[in-house]
């Protein structure tokens, strides 16, 4: 698994900001492989024989960050397995230590997209999704804990990349199409 020529874009933003939705569109438009750290953790949680199933289950329900070695290993393996070299990494890094560890073990990010959206809008989206998602964290108690973790741990990551001039913040409190057209413009300008 060679990291020569690998392009990594981190996609950040609060719970329900639209990271997954916009990544799906970017895959279609720009040919990236989309890796959601949350999806990889949910998969690992359900994998028979996993050593981390119970830990992941607890962290997700409590809106806590899973120990980073677990998540970085899952991401690295998924990158390797894909055989690709352009990745959208969705919902990671969520804490400074994760950002630094990933840069050390995998590679630095080329670009960071940050979807910004007020909490009341996020809450409404997540509660609506919770009616059908089956996600153990789409309930009001877990949503409040996810918001808290976001403010405490994830903001510093966004500030870190903003200072490095790698992070672009996009208002995602608009329609999916409006957000997506901004994303397309930015990706076209910066990555092609």
Would you tell me which residues interact with ligand UP5 (CB under 6 A)? 13, 15-21, 36-38, 41, 59-60, 63-66, 71, 91-92, 94, 125, 129, 137, 146, 172, 175-176, 179
Return the CA Rg of the chain: 16
Under 8 Å between Cβ of 167 and 156: no
| Cβ proximity to Mg ion, 27 vs 83, nearer residue | 27
State which residue, 5 or 182, has the beta carbon closest to ligand UP5: 182
Residue bearing tokens 């990291």 = 3
DSSP state of 87: E
Nearest one of 94, 117, 108, 100 to 169, comparing CA atoms: 117
Kindly state the smallest distance separating residue 52's Cβ from ligand UP5, in Å: 11
The reply on whether position 130 binds Mg ion by CB under 5 A is no
The binder of Mg ion chosen from 7, 13, 18, 20 (CB under 5 A): 20
Q: Quote the CA–CA distance of 51 and 55 in Å, as a whole number.
A: 8
Q: By CB under 5 A, name the binding residues for Mg ion.
A: 19-20
């Amino acid at each position: 698994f060679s990291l020569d020529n690998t392009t990594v874009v981190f996609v950040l933003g609060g719970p329900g900001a639209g990271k997954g939705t916009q990544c799906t569109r970017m895959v279609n438009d720009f040919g990236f492989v989309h890796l959601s750290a949350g999806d990889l953790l949910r998969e690992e949680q359900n994998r028979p024989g996993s050593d981390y199933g119970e830990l992941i289950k607890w962290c997700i329900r409590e809106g806590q960050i899973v120990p980073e070695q677990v998540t970085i290993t899952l991401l690295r393996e998924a990158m390797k397995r894909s055989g690709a070299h352009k990745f959208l990494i969705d919902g990671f890094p969520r804490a400074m230590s994760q950002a630094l560890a990933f840069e050390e073990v995998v590679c630095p990010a080329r670009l960071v997209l940050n979807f910004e959206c007020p909490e009341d809008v996020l809450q409404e989206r997540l509660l609506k999704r919770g009616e059908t998602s089956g996600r153990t964290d789409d309930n009001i108690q877990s949503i409040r804990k996810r918001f808290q973790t976001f403010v405490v741990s994830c903001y510093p990551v966004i500030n870190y990349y903003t200072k490095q001039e790698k992070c672009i913040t996009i208002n995602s409190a608009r329609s999916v199409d409006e957000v997506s057209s901004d994303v397309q413009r930015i990706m076209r300008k910066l990555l092609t």
